[in-house]
Structure 1
Amino acid sequence: MGTNTPLTNIIVENERLHLALEAAQVGFWDYNLVTGQTEWSPICKQLFGLSIDADVNAAILLDQVHPDDKERVAEENFKSVSGLNEGDHDIIFRARRKDGGFRWLQAKGKTIRQSDGKVVRFNGIVQDVTLVVTARQQLEASQQQLHNLFEQAPIVLSIVGREPDFVFRLVNEAFSRLVDRPLAALLGKPLLEALPDIAGQGVENLLRQVATTGVPYVQRGAPIKLVQQGQIRALFVDFIYYPLREPNGDVSGVMGVIIDVTEQVLSRKKLEESNARYQQLSTELDDRVQQRTQQLESANQDLQRSNDNLKQFAFIASHDLQEPLRKIQQFGDLLQSQYSDQLEEGTVYITRMQSAANRMSTLIRDLLSFSRISTGQIDRKAVSLADVIDTVLADLDMVVLETNAIVDIHPLPVVQGDASQLGQLFLNLLSNALKFHRSNEHPTISVTADEVVRAELPNTVKSARLASTYHCIKIADNGIGFEEKYLDRIFQVFQRLHGKSEFAGTGIGLAICEKVVSNHGGVITASSQPGQGATFSVYLPA
């Protein structure tokens, strides 16, 4: 039979202790400062991210500590082994895991001293407290967030303790601004001591009622008087008093939620007081609307008469004004052909008269075209722009041959519009491209088409009719160009950038273009540099 000795009992107890620590995933260490012997349990090594068979020492373990915690851990270790503390060692820090991350550890130990106070042994345990630390951090963050929300809330918040004094426990900045007192003058102070101006207004009675019954109290538009900037002001507030309860259900205080509705209440009262006046104004407005309607009807009649007069002018321009011009041209031709010998130098004046008559005739025709486009209705149909361009080029065939022009037409879309007006649009644009060419170069013109979304429209233009996408037709030439500072002028009636002696024309063509494009719900713009050609961009709703 075996006999249990004290040594055997100690060994058995140590084994039990080690097994218990391993089962609890708690590591331990033992450092004999006299012999220099150290023992680090396998769990201890694993908690520091090392293998269980690794040879370790205090320096190796310290290297596994997070850089931000290393100095603090080293200092606490030094205090323990040097006897600079009371003998208790307790520190929480981060240590590296095998995967490179970090875990939170707590090391708790004690030192053993000789009778002279010298430390001879230092041992303890280490355990993973990541879950505990993370939970505490989350709780602290949540509490801080709630505290920040309370302080920064735009509504007025306050928390007071129970009666009899209702001491302010918490107040936010909004409450401080409402009562016009700093936070320091409120926190920790009884209600009536901090706010003597509310005495006798029933606030303390309501707080006592909520604290006693535990039932919230709500009131809207309640009148209250407060001292603000040294003067008593009458305010109106919506407020709710909530009872605050302990875990056992007892009411420990009251939270007040207050909203200043003074402006709304005064506005409502003013509105109610002015209701009769508004009724009167409504009646007067109805009368004015009827008068305005009659004025608009009269204006519409005037506009109709104006349109009729404009149509009459168009008739006169196309018949009565043209007839005298034709007579002038005919008689001028007769004088030149039959009496040039007798007139001698007078033929120069006849030539100038003929030129002026021709310009006048052209101007009348252009004005007539502009008038018809401005007042005529659009018969919207599907129009092939390719067919329109072909017709225009057929009309300009002689000019193209005379100038040896190169006209490159790319595929063009089908649009909804008036074929006649669109023909005038491209006739003016292409004839201008042929007319304003450089004398030393043959005209080169390209007509291209693309589809763009509304956001890609130039910032300088605004569409007459909004659409999600637009056809962008570009007419580019290599002509004389112009300075873009004149861009806002070229689409106006009678605006010319070149003298009559340089290039013929009335200055109406581009105004017709702008009117046609506007009639079709689109926009037109141009880009150019002197001597580098011009590009006219026509945007039509797709």
Structure 2
Amino acid sequence: MTGSNKPFDKKTLHERLDVNFALRAAGLGVWEVDPTTNLVIWDDQCREMFGLAKDNLLPYEQAIQYIHPEDVEGVKKAVAWAMNSESGGDYDLTYRTIGADDGLLRWVRFSGQGYFNEAGQVIRLAGIAQDVTLQMAADQNQPHLLASFEQSPVGIAMITDNQKLIFQMANPLYSALAGRNPQELVGKPLLKAIPELAGQGFDELLKRVMRTGEPFMAQEARAEIRRGDQFDFMYVDYHVQPQRNSIGTITGVLIVTIDVTNQVLARQKVAESEAHLQLLRDTVPAMIFYLDAEQRYQSYNGVFMDWFKVNATEAIGKTVREFLDEQAYKSVRPYLDKAYGGQQTRYELHAPSRMNTDRWLSIVYTPHLAEDGKVIGVIVLSTDITQQVLARQKAQESEESLRGAIELAAMGTWEWSMSTGIITYSESLKRLFEFNQDFIEGDVVYNPILEQDRAHVEAAMGRATTPEFGGLLDEEYGIITQQTGRHRIVRAQGKMYFDASGQPRKMLGSMRDVTEERELQLALEQLVQQRTEELAAANKELASTNEELEANNEEYAAINEALEEANRLLSRSNANLQTFAYVASHDLQEPLRKIQQFGDLLKTRQASLSGDEVVYIERMQSAASRMSTLIRDLLNFSRIATQRDTNSSVALNAIVEQVLITLEMVIAETNAEIRVEPLPTIQGDDSQLTQLFQNLIGNALKFRRPSVAPLIQLTAQILEADELPPSVKPTRVAKAYYRIDVADNGVGFDEKYVDRIFQVFQRLHGKNEFAGTGIGLAICERVAVNHGGAITAHSQPGQGATFRVYLPA
């Protein structure tokens, strides 16, 4: 609809008035200075007052450069005083600017208000601005302007001769609007001076005014003017007034023209912005509403209606107290008081009962200030932060659980700042080292470390400070406690974090007291050594007995009896060793299971944990997993040594197929090729044989060469007893033996270590190169021995390895 047929908007004038539109229509701009960042933020109107073509955000010191040199000091003092809490925050100053891009001199008036926190510190200086160039010019030069046609602030021209329309006068501003200079206009007919006006009706209009004597006024008329070699358009307000001589005869017309192009274009932008703003209010996923000076709802968006289940007018005119229940109003009133006191306020609130939902809200009150600084309303923005609040609560719960898990695992955490050199640590580490202080300096951090360990710890720390080594630290060393001087063994793990330039920034890590673990390991090793020595002594005694048997057959019976007694002692000794290892390993599993269970519980909540907390959990579980693997391998070794059931018929091809199923994920990840030829069926224990082949194939997959897909081949052949290599000593005599080869193309090893690799806890590679416990091949040897056979290996570094298992046929 148009004209009188369009229904009148039923909303009140206050509701229909857009603040941004009102500011622009009044020629006002808005600005703000952020004292924290020292940045000036302003709209297009303020930017144009400084003659800038762009930059609505720039440093304060840069903005000062565009102020007239004579006014700079006064502006700085006024700003400084407005940011002083004793001033009350008032700011109102008129000064001159020199256009940064257009070079024009302007008079501007900037007025505003400083906002302070409870401590009296300024947090914001903001306000409005206006171009007052014309007013200042009028105040200073009005007598001259009225007398000077040449300096008129509007375009003025006089045209005579109602047929030819000759320019008699044209001031510079009118000439500039026409894209000419005065000499190109004065004395020339209108359409010859400005030929592009032909067809736009302007000449006919002037003739009609001269003919009828009726003045004509037009607003925002569009005109096309040639400027140089190009045509341009503009919008003007102009007034055509007939001029008469002393006897009343019309002698010409006076044309007064004002360029309103910027205002028209600005209004068009306002209309576009209004449409965008309305779209934003309707689509933003937040509740937005406006309260007037009496805390009455004046407008709100669709989210408000959805959350409160109201229509577009149900809450209009009601106060906050009337709309919400009394209890909810008591909760929000302190924040409303701050907002109506002129302070922007933020807070979190559980949804009032009227919403009838379990929701947490983040609410921001922004005061709406009049030109005199008085609060005339409050703009409210409320967003749903339920998920953030729940996540924060879960994070707090996870942090408490993490602390409990760390304490349970007897672990401590530490942080080393590279910039300050300060090392801070948890309470558990403070107790472990018997420190009195809560932190130590970096130059004394190595003092508690045993002298023999200090150098390698310093070297490891040096490597961790360089990105090429991954920034990782994992060292085990001895310490002396500060108060009692006790010797303890600790394992420190950490990760260095680097800045954008690759410089070390800080290291975060954990530490665990492993003294008891190492003492237990030492005891086990000593026990194994003791039993080995006993076995060697028994073997020596057996050899001596054999010599005596050959020398004296009469003593054969006695010597044989002594030999049997020695074997019984040896068997009992080995049985005791195996039982001890089994019981010790089994009892060690219980605390590790607790560590892993707590770790799993924490990992289910890792979405709410920080990056450092996740790293601690992963390191804790990694350490527990490695210890668990070691214990599990010890248990397997113990079971294999104590359990021998080799009376079942076992098809080795079926065993290998099951192993390949178990290892199928690793096989797929490494792109390995497994070739299995027909294998025999033997008498044995299927579980032990499964472990034998799983360890051999698993090692072939593990010890692969980088960038080379593993190739593993399993073959079998039968050998007569006299065809066995001299170094192969099966534990059961048979006429023939199966030789089963497991060959790979991996990293290989030096054959001088062939006897060592089948010993318990023996490794040829560092744990950082290949994971493992050093028990797998010992288990393989035990399985071969249990089945009356033997195992050996052949290899060259970088050329793969072949493990040969000999089993009775």
The TM-score, its normalising length taken from structure 2, stands at: 0.29
Which structure would you say has the larger RCO, counting Cα contacts within 8 Å and 6 or more residues apart?
A: 1
Q: TM-score, normalization: structure 1?
A: 0.43
